[in-house]
Amino acid sequence: MARQQQNIVILISGVGSNMAAIAQTAARQAWFDRLGVCVAAVISNKPDAPGLKTARALGIDTHIVAHAGFDSREHFEAALVASIDSYAPALVVLAGFMRILTPAFVQHYAGRLINIHPSLLPAFPGLHTHQRAIDTGCRFAGATVHQVTAEVDHGPILAQAVVPVLPGDTAAALAARVGTQEHVIYPQAVRAFFERAA
């Protein structure tokens, strides 16, 4: 009996480097052949997001649901849900999607919505994580993949990576070091999600 295809939909707002890491890892590791898993679509809330071009080059469907075109968060999210659900996703991945999502949206995808955050949660939820880690005198920083809940940057932790904070680090230098690890652990966490469900 043929395995049922399990679709991933990835939401981006910008460059989409984590999206690309996931899609490229899926292709390299033959997720579709091994797990029936396919990165089916990339959706952006910004029409000029560079990641859309990257996704198209990788042969992935792309869509734009521009939040600026809606008169309320609820109307924007209704359109976003319609676009996502047209792919019947097994997993929705936030990869630099810079919009706060309502509890109703999170509940709709409960158990199948994940995010990556550039800190070792529960430390430094929110913005400016790298500068905050430096200012606090942290010796280590990192990234966290977690399930999304109604509370921002909370939810069960799925994976973490740790990097050192070096003497003289700037926020940009630390961000770059953390970013290389994000591109490792996010694909690993996505694959593990499907392996656990198999």
- The residues that are catalytic are 117
Strand positions, DSSP E, 33-181: 37-44, 61-64, 89-94, 113-117, 140-147, 157-164
Contact 189, 114 (CB under 8 A): yes
**Measured at the alpha carbon of residue 43, what is the angle toward residues 27 and 70, in degrees to the nearest 5?**
175
